[in-house]
Amino acid sequence: MAHGKNKDAGGKVNGDAAAGYAEPQGHGGETHQTTSDAALTMTTAQGVPIADDQNSLRAGPRGPTLLEDFILREKIFHFDHERIPERVVHARGYGAHGVFKLTDSLSEYTQADVLGTVGQETEVFVRFSTVAGNKGSMDVARDVRGFAVKFYTKQGNWDLVGNNIPVFFIQDAIKFPDLIHAVKAEPDRAFPQAQSAHDNFWDFATLSPEAWHMVMWQMSDRTIPRSFRTMEGFGVHSFRLVDANGKSTFVKFHWKPRQGLQSVLWNEAVKINGADPDFHRRDLWNAIEAGDFPEWDLGVQLFDQETADKLPFDHLDATKLIPEEDVPVRIIGTMTLNRNVDNFFANTEQVAFCTQNVVPGIDFSDDPLLHGRNFSYLDTQLKRLGGPNFTHLPVNAPRCPVMHFQQDGHMAMRNPKGRANYEPNSWGADGGPRENPEIGYKSFPAEVQGTKQRIRSETFADHYSQARQFFLSQQPIEQKHIGDALVFELSKVERVDIRARAVSHLRLIDEDLATTVADGLGLDLPEPAKAAKPTQDLPTSPKLSIHANGPKDFKGRKVGVLLTDGSSADQFNALTKALEAEGAMFEVVAPKIGGVTLDDGTKIAAKQKVDGGPSVLYDAVAVLPSEEGAAMLAKDATAKDFVADAFAHCKFIGHNEAAGALFDAAGVTDRDDGFVSLDKAKDAKDFVTTCRTLRFWPREMDVDLDAKSAK
């Protein structure tokens, strides 16, 4: 069957201008892409071959469109229904496929097969997300990141739905709608987008003392990660591992990035969001496409009731963590993300994580936040995905056999066969699946008794000790960033009494921090908030610092290399070779996207034109212009921003001698130890080695206005 040109009812060929017909395929006709290959033929959703996808059916060339046109109607109908409700939280996310490999067996603690057999590989799907912003918001918002992992185990799907922060804002699920209403855009004006820097969030937070541990994390650089690849993940709650004899051990789950922890600066984040709102998703996609597969080790903190009883807080309270120094993290396996999705909607949008998805050997603790979540996730999938059969979608379908008598419902694709659809039944072998007490899921038989009442446990009442511990565990520059973030956020709060209330909580966390923030806001120090329990001085925990847990190499990081016509081929080649040896990446930034011609005549294509590739997109920069090129760049505002921002963001700056003219023009006159010469080929390796520490932090005190005035 040929589908070249469309014949009308009168048998005349469309497109034949001489026959008096208007051009059928728009103007010029070149958009009418036809085929004579049946296998490539476009069809309707019903499989009917389509001859003309450019024009709807109408009565005469300029006449009305006919309702009869089932092809038009079907196409528009489907388009009209493309959207599903975005997630009420974590709307913006990015997913990838991967594999989890167990390296250390927990079979003495759990019957969960996924945690039992060393060497076993289990398929996973991971979705990272921001919490507050809409689906189209920018990636580098100051926000908590979701870190949700679906393990397709032999015993069914296990979902570990965590965040990149190990504690939560609230202790009881009943407060979740309030928290989320408060942080998302204000309801009358529908702004601000993807930001906690507004009155409603801080009003809620300052009236909720339990939030203040997480607020400290939120104000730290944890919430502006450099990449999904450089953040930790946490299951947050205590769960239970249960062995074959029904013995239970408490467990907290940790994901540790093999890429090391890394964040960006706030001033940088603001600019990244303008330059590339997709910064994080692009980074993950590109790394996987390049074969630089990101990896996380899975760690567990295992503890029994006796240890739990000795902790200076209640482990069932999700606003608390257990310092790794108290209960060490045991690494039991590695997750590798090795495949990008082939369709975003089918996978990343339709994936349905549910905290209730556990497998035999993994059970819940009595954390009240977790219990509320177990209802919410299942419920929300019904709304989002439109029916109870979302487990039939490939991304949600278990990889092990699924056998039950659940049936029908919207879009049922996996339908039971045979006569029996109930149990017990007496149809023998044909009667369908049966219960299996030996391998079937059994809830841990915890002893429970108590008076039915709406109450918060006394053991949840210490809200400030771990907030203080977190703050004191940070390195000085990290503490400074927390102070800066608090001042920034609160400066966006219109009500002065809310600002002051925030400082009153800080006084219970750290007096110096409270003074810094009060100063930054121009406030008198308010009275401390009233605490239900006095703040305890807990030992510091270096594991809580990002800087203390950075990478050991520069692998997977990206350098922006600014070139012009006449740049030195020797310098460029030495640098790219050294970067390649490290497993780092680079992008050439040039005055024209067509690229540059080096001094040996080699033509190098540019990845970015200088105004499209600001230095905020890179971990470090190398500025290698020719002398004429540097003189030209010195007159260009975006080239000056390139170096001025790299300097302000404490980046290492590799450069040749000619670059001096650009630095001077950009006002970058204090060439500190973060500047590394690349004039000689052998310098390139030193530059890459230097870059391993990621930033030249001593510079911050010199470039930061607040820090300068505080000195």
**Rule CB under 6 A: which residues touch ligand HDD?**
87-90, 93, 127, 129, 146, 148, 161-163, 168, 173, 176, 236, 318, 351, 353, 369, 372-373, 376-377, 380
Please report how the helices 176-183 and 199-206 are oriented relative to each other, as an axis angle in degrees rounded to 10. Answer: 140
Closest approach of ligand HDD to the CB of residue 457, in Å: 17
For residues 115 and 102, the answer to whether their CB atoms sit within 8 Å is: yes
Identified catalytic residue from 6, 32, 90, 198: 90
For residues 512 and 486, the answer to whether their CB atoms sit within 8 Å is: no
> Could you give the CA distance from residue 622 to residue 632 in angstroms, rounded to a whole number?
17
> Could you give the CA distance from residue 39 to residue 102 in angstroms, rounded to a whole number?
44
Closest approach of ligand HDD to the CB of residue 143, in Å: 12
The residue among 84 and 290 lying less far from ligand HDD, judged by its C-beta, is 84
Encoding tokens for residue 43?
């069809």
Closest approach of ligand HDD to the CB of residue 547, in Å: 24
Q: Which of 366, 367, 369 is nearest to 170 (CA)?
A: 369
**Quick check: is 157 catalytic?**
no
Q: Which residue is nearest to ligand HDD (CB)?
A: 146
Closest approach of ligand HDD to the CB of residue 657, in Å: 50
The amino acid occupying position 650 is C
Closest approach of ligand HDD to the CB of residue 283, in Å: 18
Q: Is 456 annotated as a binding residue?
A: no
The residue among 150 and 547 lying less far from ligand HDD, judged by its C-beta, is 150
Q: Is 373 annotated as a binding residue?
A: yes
Q: Which of 200, 204, 197, 236 is nearest to 218 (CA)?
A: 197
> Could you give the CA distance from residue 317 to residue 313 in angstroms, rounded to a whole number?
8
Q: Is 384 annotated as a binding residue?
A: yes
In sign, the C-alpha dihedral spanning 163, 165, 171, 177 is negative
The residue among 204 and 687 lying less far from ligand HDD, judged by its C-beta, is 204
> Could you give the CA distance from residue 368 to residue 134 in angstroms, rounded to a whole number?
27
Q: Is the peptide bond before 424 cis (omega within 30 degrees of 0)?
A: yes
What is 649-675 written as a DSSP string? TTB-EEE-GGGHHHHHHTT-----TTE
For residues 137 and 170, the answer to whether their CB atoms sit within 8 Å is: no
The residue among 168 and 642 lying less far from ligand HDD, judged by its C-beta, is 168
CA 619 to chain centre: 19
The residue among 91 and 684 lying less far from ligand HDD, judged by its C-beta, is 91
> Could you give the CA distance from residue 413 to residue 425 in angstroms, rounded to a whole number?
24
> Could you give the CA distance from residue 388 to residue 376 in angstroms, rounded to a whole number?
14
Closest approach of ligand HDD to the CB of residue 375, in Å: 7
The residue among 377 and 460 lying less far from ligand HDD, judged by its C-beta, is 377
Identified catalytic residue from 14, 163, 200, 396: 163
Alpha-helical regions (H) of 405-493: 465-472, 476-491
Closest approach of ligand HDD to the CB of residue 160, in Å: 9
Q: Is 127 annotated as a binding residue?
A: yes
**Quick check: is 90 catalytic?**
yes
The residue among 287 and 370 lying less far from ligand HDD, judged by its C-beta, is 370
Say how many CA atoms lie within 13 Å of 237 toward its Cβ. Answer: 26
Binding annotation for heme? 87, 127, 176, 373, 377, 384
Which residues are catalytically annotated? 90, 163
